[in-house]
Structure 1
Amino acid sequence: MRAVVFEEYQTFPSLKDVERPTPGPGEVLLKVAGSGACHSDVAIYNDFTADFGPPQMAPSFILGHENSGWVEELGQGVTGISKGDAYLVYGPIGCQQCRACSRGQDTYCENAASMRYLGSGLGRDGGMAEYLAVPARNLVALGDADPIAAAPLSDAGLTPYHAIKKAMPVLTGGGKTALVIGLGGLGQLAVQMLTALTGAKVIATDMKDSAMRRAEEAGAVTVAGGDDQAAQICELTEGRGVDAVFDFVGVAPTIKVAMSVVALQGKVTVLGIAGGKYEWDFYSTPYEAQLTNTYWGTIEELHEVVDLYKAGLISPLVTRYSLHDALKAYRALQAGELDGRAVVVPHGS
């Protein structure tokens, strides 16, 4: 079968022929419906080295951690799953024995250091291919929902959803505000989720006009980047500051903006992985304001994200690419040419 393979550190991936996987005990083989291209993939092949980055993600392996597909074959011991049914894949794979994994939070597996990989497309072969083998436990049923459009939900949907749920204590009640910084695939879904799940005024900011217009269509008030960005955001909160800020970029200037507009007892969550730094001091930080980060989410939360999708409350913006053009998707992603998510479709359009 054809697949997009990460073969060497700091080297662009290759499209090549590889052996079709066979599902092991407790696993399912999926005919891949869609696989989302993510900035995390770019970090894997562009930024990581033998000395920098998780050792569980050393080359080589097939990329793609945002995956959906139709059941093609059942491994030994798998029951209750029918061939042809559509599923979304929970990407992280932990030891499945520790406390974190027992609550479906493989992202924080206590035994991650001893694992051979961190997930599908993260050290273990992922879904940028015609077929994908995954643990049956990691499947979330899609029913009649479109699995191709749903593929980004496994990360671009789950990641903001987890962060928003964690921030609910500061968003509960009247007169609350939320700020979304960065309106790519994750940021756009965050706007939709905040609108669907809270009564907060949602403010969104980005450098791209097209991204801000799309956020406005989802119910956000937008502020363009610039020297008066923070002042405009504070004005929209009537000087109180923002109760919950979600930074999907994570460079030093965006974290600085987030911390400059957060309210007393507010919360800033950095989800972008750009590695920006922030210098904290007691006097310039609003009292009891939190600065934190999150990583992905739980299997249970992915079920909830799918419920929102099936109810029509969230809808990823998807640009489809054939597997033949998968490398073009990654080049477009790196160049910042995409609004929303690039999804590679190995079988048909």
Structure 2
Amino acid sequence: MQAYQLVGWQQPPELREVPVPDPGPGQVLVKVGGAGACHSDLHIMEAPAPLPGFTSPPFTLGHENAGWVERLGPGVTGFVPGDPVIVYGSWGCGVCANCRESRENYCQTLGGQGPGLGGGHDGGMAEYLLVPAARYLIPLGTLDPRQAAPLSDAGLTSYHAVKRSLHLLGPGSTAVVIGAGGLGQMTIQILRALSAATTVVAVDTDAGKLETAKRMGADEALLSGDEAIKRIKEITGQQGAQLVLDMVGVAPTLRMAAQVARMLGHLTIVGLGGAALPVNFSSPPHECSVASPYWGSLTELTEVITLAQQGKIKMLVEHFPLERADAAYQLLHDGKIQGRAVVTPQA
């Protein structure tokens, strides 16, 4: 089969011929319908060698995966070939305290590194994906795997980031989403689906993405800069927002996040831009909680799929055949994907 693999650190990925995996006991082979292209993949491609905890290349990229059950390993029950499924992407040990609570994203043994993230498992940018345990599969029902694949990361990460702060988002509250790309667009929809926040504000440097953010449910869409900070202060009576979610994580966005958050609020860093948040006695505001959540739990992915099945959230998706994976990542790198790029190996 064809697989899009990272062949060496700081080397461009290649489309290579590899064997189709054979599922062993407890494992499931999935025919990949969609594999999302994520900014974290770009960080992996560009990172100096070796990344901590990563196995050496080659390995197949792609940690946002959905498709159809192809073959069951011995002992697997609950699925039959042809079932449409989405793959929970953070694979833990299954036995530590966090894994037993469904929080395999915070596995205390393996760190929750799943497919395509260099943790020893090939990802889904291939015709087939070997999943080590059936518990990582969630039925999609009538959802199309080609559309649903990004829900396993962009949807789940956004959901988890919002859910932890819902107690702050009562009537009259404000939530600010910095970065209105695919992740930010999903966050806006989830804020609308879950919270009673009166005002949802999107901030970005791209006017086109801000227009999309408005269609997704943002009340205000502001070009990043001093005027955006001033406007958010006006909206919040100079107090700042109860929740600020930085979906970018670079120095300018983190500085803005600290300026528009409020006392006793939450500042949540989701983006992997790699910058550091300046912290002193006055900034962020007093007792403003700062967190950097990572993905979400298996249970939360089930909840995300339910929201999608109910039509309350929908990912804006652009499809690329496997042989055009390079083009998908280049457009992502250049900021030209309005929603989420999805590689479709079966197209």
Smaller-chain TM-score bracket = over 0.9
Give the CA RMSD over aligned residues.
1.2
Counterpart of 1:100 in 2: which secondary structure? helix
What residue number does 2:221 align with? 222
Q: Is the Cα–Cα contact under 8 Å of residues 223 and 233 in structure 1 kept in the other structure?
A: no
Alignment of 1:209-248 (within 5 A): 209-220=207-218, 221-248=220-247
What residue number does 1:121 align with? 116
Shift of the alpha carbon at 1:140?
0.7
Shift of the alpha carbon at 1:198?
1.1
In 2, the alpha carbon distance for the partners of 1:218 and 1:253 equals 24
Question: Aligned AA for 1:183?
Answer: A
Q: Is the Cα–Cα contact under 8 Å of residues 180 and 204 in structure 2 kept in the other structure?
A: yes
1:189 maps to 2:165? no
Counterpart of 1:22 in 2: which secondary structure? coil
Q: TM-score, normalising length from structure 1?
A: 0.95
Q: Is the Cα–Cα contact under 8 Å of residues 27 and 134 in structure 2 kept in the other structure?
A: yes
What residue number does 1:26 align with? 26
Counterpart of 2:258 in 1: which secondary structure? helix
What residue number does 2:83 align with? 85
1:268 maps to 2:267? yes
Q: Is the Cα–Cα contact under 8 Å of residues 27 and 78 in structure 1 kept in the other structure?
A: yes
What residue number does 2:130 align with? 133
Counterpart of 2:243 in 1: which secondary structure? strand
Q: Is the Cα–Cα contact under 8 Å of residues 242 and 261 in structure 1 kept in the other structure?
A: yes
- Percent of aligned pairs with the same amino acid: 46
Shift of the alpha carbon at 1:240?
2.1
Q: What whole-Å deviation, never above 9, does each CA across 1:252-310 have from its counterpart, x for those lacking one?
A: 11111111111121100000011111221113432211111110000000000000100
Alignment of 1:45-194 (within 5 A): 45-50=45-50, 53-112=51-110, 118-123=113-118, 124-134=121-131, 135-171=133-169, 173-194=170-191
Question: Aligned AA for 1:250?
Answer: G
Question: Aligned AA for 2:191?
Answer: L
Shift of the alpha carbon at 1:229?
2.1
Shift of the alpha carbon at 1:227?
2.8
In 1, the alpha carbon distance for the partners of 2:242 and 2:34 equals 36
1:290 maps to 2:285? no
Structure 1 segments of 4+ aligned residues over 3 angstroms from their partners? none
1:9 maps to 2:4? no
Q: Is the Cα–Cα contact under 8 Å of residues 174 and 200 in structure 2 kept in the other structure?
A: yes
Q: Is the Cα–Cα contact under 8 Å of residues 29 and 70 in structure 2 kept in the other structure?
A: yes
Q: Is the Cα–Cα contact under 8 Å of residues 182 and 205 in structure 1 kept in the other structure?
A: yes
In 2, the alpha carbon distance for the partners of 1:86 and 1:177 equals 37
Counterpart of 1:302 in 2: which secondary structure? helix
Q: What whole-Å deviation, never above 9, does each CA across 1:68-87 have from its counterpart, x for those lacking one?
A: 01011000110111110100
Question: Aligned AA for 2:114?
Answer: G
Structure 2 residues without counterparts, runs of 5 or longer: none
Counterpart of 1:174 in 2: which secondary structure? coil
Cα 1:48–1:139, aligned 2, differ >3 Å: closer, same or farther? farther
What residue number does 2:249 align with? 250
Shift of the alpha carbon at 1:331?
1.3
Shift of the alpha carbon at 1:55?
2.6
In 1, the alpha carbon distance for the partners of 2:55 and 2:295 equals 17
Cα 1:2–1:58, aligned 2, differ >3 Å: closer, same or farther? same
Question: Aligned AA for 1:118?
Answer: Q
Q: Which moved more, 1:103-112 or 1:295-304?
A: 103-112
In 2, the alpha carbon distance for the partners of 1:57 and 1:225 equals 38
What residue number does 1:342 align with? 341
Q: Is the Cα–Cα contact under 8 Å of residues 21 and 128 in structure 2 kept in the other structure?
A: yes
